[in-house]
């Protein structure tokens, strides 16, 4: 298992996210769309728009983290979309570390 090599007690184990499964990634896609966003999914990345492009989401399930990149030129919609996407992600995988990047 990832993280076992250097730590026999598993203290440094990386929590692998449920987003390794395609079904979970498709569920996230569906939930974003149900929240009113247009979304294009490419493996572990999601391009999200509303009236304009609002954010890019990159999920790294084997590292247990996700990055949400806000779009500076569409700040107001981008901040709301990033907050909403983070809520959806956290609701689907409570162990996932989420970082919003401005």
Q: Which regions of the chain does DSSP assign to beta strands (E)?
A: 38-42, 45-49, 53-60, 65-70, 97-101
Phi-psi region of 17 (alpha: psi -120 to 50; beta: other; left: phi over 0): beta
* pLDDT at res. 79: 96
Tens of each residue's pLDDT in the chain, 102 residues: 344 445 455 566 778 999 999 999 999 999 999 999 999 999 999 999 999 999 999 999 999 999 999 999 999 999 999 999 999 999 999 999 999 999
The token pair at 99 is 């970082």
Question: CA-to-CA distance for 102 and 93, rounded, in angstroms?
Answer: 23
The maximal CA–CA distance of the chain, rounded, in angstroms, is 51
* pLDDT at res. 93: 96
Give me the domains of the chain, ranges plus CATH numbers: 18-101 (3.40.20)
């Amino acid at each position: 298992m990832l993280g076992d090599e250097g730590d026999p007690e598993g203290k440094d184990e990386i929590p692998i996210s449920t987003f390794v499964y395609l079904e979970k990634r498709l569920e996230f896609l569906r939930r974003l769309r149900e929240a009113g966003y247009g979304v294009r999914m490419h493996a572990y990345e999601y391009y999200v728009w509303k009236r304009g492009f609002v954010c890019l989401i990159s999920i790294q399930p084997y590292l247990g983290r996700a990055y949400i990149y806000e779009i500076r030129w569409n700040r107001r919609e981008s901040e709301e979309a990033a907050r909403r996407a983070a809520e959806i992600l956290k609701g689907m995988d409570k162990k996932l570390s989420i970082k919003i990047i401005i």
